[in-house]
Amino acid sequence: MKKKTCLIIRLGAIGDMLIITPVLKRLKELGYYNILHTGETGMNVFKYTSYIDEFIPYKDNSMPKEKLGDYWNELKRVYKPNKFINFTKSIECNVALHPTNSAYIYPKEERKVLCNRNYYDVTEKWADITGCDKRPNLQFSSIEEKEAKEIIQPANFNILWQLSGSGKQKVYPWVDFVIAECIKEFSDIHFITTGDYKCKLLETVSDDSITHLAGEIDIRVAICLTKFVNLVIAPDTGVLHASGCFNTPKIGLLGHTTKENITKYFLNDYSIEAECACSPCFRLIYEHGIQCPIEYVTKAAWCMAVGIAPQKIYNTIKKVYDKWLQNQKNAK
C-alpha cells in the first residue's frame, strides 16, 4: 500500500520547532509518513524524534530568501505529498508581528486583539488538523539524560535559569539580585544557569549553590534539564517551550508575549507577564536599541528591567519551593 505522506517545512529557532511538535505527533497518529524539511537547529531538536520518518536537511542561509518559495514548490513537485504544510510565517508575521506588517504600528490594544492567541492553537489551525494535545514533545537519548541528571543535586531544590533568549529583549537584568536573595534565604537551593557563551556576562554571583553552565553544555542537555529540575525560569525561549513538555514547574518571564501566547496549556505554570506601558507588544524585535524602550541603568528592554519586579520572581520561587519542601516532609 502506498504511504500517506506529509511534507512539512519549518525553519527557525528551537522554540519554533517545539511549537510544531504536537502537529507532527498528531500527523503520525493519523497514519502519515512525515517528511520534515528543516535547518541545522531543527535537525538537532528532532534528533531522536520518533514521529519524523525522513529529513530533508537545509543548510542555514544557503539560499536567498526570495528563492526559497520556488525551492519548496520544487520539493512539493518531487515528493508529491498527500498533505503539504509550510509553517513559514505561521507564528512570525502572523501572531508575532514583523516590522513590515502594517499592524506593527497599531495601538497596543488593537495589536492585542489581533495577536493575543495561543501559538499552539494557531499552529494546529495552520496545519488544518484537529486533536493535537497542545503541549510540545521531545525525546532524549539515555546519554543525554544521564548527563543532565549528573548536574542535579538530588538533596536540593534545583532551579534551571535560562539567562537569555534570541534577542536582548529576552534578557532579565536582575538575575544576580534574585539569585543572591534566594541563596541568603534558602540553604538547600541550587541554581543552574544556562545560555550561550555571551551569557557568561550575566553569571556574576559566585557561590557553591550555583552551577554556571552558560556556553558550557550542549543545548540538548540544557533543554533535557527541564525534565529533571524542580523549577525552570526562562524568558520566551526554546528552554521555556521545552519545559512545557514536562510537569516541571516553570516561570516564564514574558515581556513582549503573554501566557495566552506561550504557556496556556503548560502544566504547573507560574509565568509572570510584564506590567508596563509597552508590554505586551507582540512584536518581533531585531534592533533592541531602536525598537524597544530602554531602561537607563541596565540598558535592558523596559519590559524586562521595569515590567517584572525582582520581588515578584522571588515570591514565585518561594511559592514553588514551599510546595516542594512540604512534599519532601510528607515523603518522610
Is there a common fold for 1-88 and 150-331? Answer: yes
pLDDT at 1 over 80: no
Residue-wise pLDDT for 129-157, tens only, equals 999 999 999 999 999 999 999 999 999 99
pLDDT on residue 97: 94
pLDDT at 312 over 60: yes
Question: In the block, which residue shows the cell 537547529?
Answer: 41
Domain ranges within the chain, ordered by starting residue: 1-88, 150-331
Average pLDDT score over the chain: 94
Mean pLDDT of 160-167: 89
Amino acid letter, residue 186? F
**Distance between CA atoms of 213 and 195, rounded to whole angstroms?**
7
Q: Which fold has domain 150-331?
A: Rossmann fold (3.40.50)
Percent of all residues in the chain with a pLDDT value above 70, rounded to a whole number: 99
List the one residue out of 11, 85, 10, 18 whose CA is nearest residue 45. 18
pLDDT on residue 2: 63
300 contacts: CB under 8 Å, gap ≥ 6: 168, 171, 172, 173, 294
The architecture that CATH gives domain 1-88 is: 3-Layer(aba) Sandwich (3.40)
Q: Tell which wins on pLDDT, 198 or 247.
A: 247
Helix (H, G, I), strand (E, B) or coil at 280: coil
pLDDT on residue 286: 87
Residue-wise pLDDT for 192-246, tens only, equals 999 998 888 888 888 999 999 999 999 999 999 999 999 999 999 999 999 999 9
312 contacts: CB under 8 Å, gap ≥ 6: 272
pLDDT on residue 10: 97
pLDDT band at 3 (very low <50, low <70, confident <90, very high): confident
Q: What is the pTM of this model?
A: 0.95
**Distance between CA atoms of 233 and 321, rounded to whole angstroms?**
13
Mean pLDDT of 108-128: 97
